[in-house]
Amino acid sequence: MNEPIIVGISGGVDSSVTALRLKEEGFDVECVFMKNWEGESDQCDAEQDYKDALSVCNSIGVPLRSTNFSNEYWKNVFKNFIDEYSKGRTPNPDILCNKEVKFKAFLNYAKDIGGAKIATGHYARIKESGHSYQLLKGVDDDKDQSYFLYLLNQEMLSNSLFPIGGIEKQEVRKIAKKNGLLNHAKKDSTGICFIGEQKFFKEFLKKYIPKHPGTIKSVDGEICGEHEGLSYYTIGQRKGLGVGGGFGNNDDPWYVSEKDLSSNTLIISQGSNHPSLYHKNLSADSLHWISGYAPSKNDNLSAKIRYRQKDQTCTITSLSGESCNVQFMIPQFAVTPGQSIVFYDGEICLGGGIINNRS
C-alpha cells in the first residue's frame, strides 16, 4: 500500500486537483480543511469554501476532516503582521503563514493523524539532490509560488509534495473540468492568507492600528496634504493618497517614495519614473537558506523583491550571519522595507530575507 498523504484542501481548484492526482496515483489520500481566521471578513466565505471542498472530496472518493489553527495563526502570523505595519513597514503574511501554519502546524497535525507526508496545491517543485532537498520554481512562470515558500527548511520539504508544480494552471483547470469537479472555474483566492481580499485595506488596518495623522510632502519639500498614519501606506503606492490637482508640473500620478518615521511625514514623488522610487542597493536581515547554509557563490544570482516580479540579476556584496547587502544590476522600483527578497540560482530557490533598508 502507498503511504498515506494528507492534503490541505481549501475549496479551490489547485488543492482539489492535488488531491485528485494523488488519488489517481494510488496514494491513500485524506483531505483536511483548515479554518485559521476567526475575524469578520466580507470577502472570505469559509463556509462556502468548506462546502466546495466537501463536494470535491465526495466526487473523488476521499475523506475530509476539518481543523482550526486560529490560535497559531493569530500568535505566529497576524501579530507579526500588525507589529510590522505599526512600525511603518510592509510585511508579507503569506510567507510567514506558510512557515508557521501550512508547513508547521498542519504538518504536525498530519503526522498526528497518521500521515506520511502532506501535499498542497502550491505551484513549486521539490527535488531530492543527494541527501538534501531543493525547492524549485513552478513550471508555470505566471503562477510560480516559490517566492512564498523560501522559509521552508529541509524537514518541511522532505515531508511535503507539490503535485501540480510541474504543470500549467490552464492544465489544472482542464483536469478539474474533465473530472467533473464543480470548482473547475472557481476564481483564485487573493488577499491576505486565510483572511482574504480586503477591498478597503486601510479600513481593515484601522481596526488594529490607530490613526496617527501627519504631513504629506513632495520630495521637493512642498506640503501636499495630510495622511492618516504612515502604517496605512506602502512604498510605491499610487492609489488612495488624496493628492489631486494643484501640485506638480503635469498630470502624472503621485507615488509614495519614502516614509519618514522620525517626523511622521509621508514623502511622495510624481511619475513612475521618478528617481526617488528606484534603488540599486538594499540590506536584508533574518536570512534563511533552504539548504541550511549560505550559497557558495554570491554573484550571477537573481532575486525577486515581490511576487511575480521577473528575476533580477544581483550580487550579494556582503554576508554576515543573518544579514546581507545586495546590489542589483539595474535599479529596482519600490524597494520596500518589511517585504522579502528571495534569491535564486536558475530555477533553484535558495532562500531569502527581510528587506531592511535601501540606497
Q: Write phi, then psi, for 174 (nearest 5 degrees).
A: -65, -45
Task: Please state, in angstroms and as integers, the Cα–Cα distance from residue 327 to each residue in 41, 304, 317, 333, following that order.
Answer: 40, 12, 7, 14
- DSSP 8-class letter at 300: S
Catalytic (active-site) positions = 97, 193
Task: Please state, in angstroms and as integers, the Cα–Cα distance from residue 158 to each residue in 136, 153, 184, 326, following that order.
Answer: 13, 9, 30, 30
Distance CA 276, CA 258 (A): 8
Distance CA 279, CA 194 (A): 32
The CA dihedral of 9, 61, 119, 50, to the nearest 10 degrees, is 10
Q: Write phi, then psi, for 84 (nearest 5 degrees).
A: -65, -45
Q: Using an 8 Å Cβ cutoff, are 129 and 117 in contact?
A: no
The 10 Å CB-count burial string (b at 16+, else e) for 28-40 is bbbbbbbbbbeee
Instruction: Supply 75's cell numbers.
Output: 500568535
At 155, the amino acid letter reads E
Q: Using an 8 Å Cβ cutoff, are 135 and 150 in contact?
A: yes
- DSSP 8-class letter at 231: G
Distance CA 115, CA 106 (A): 11
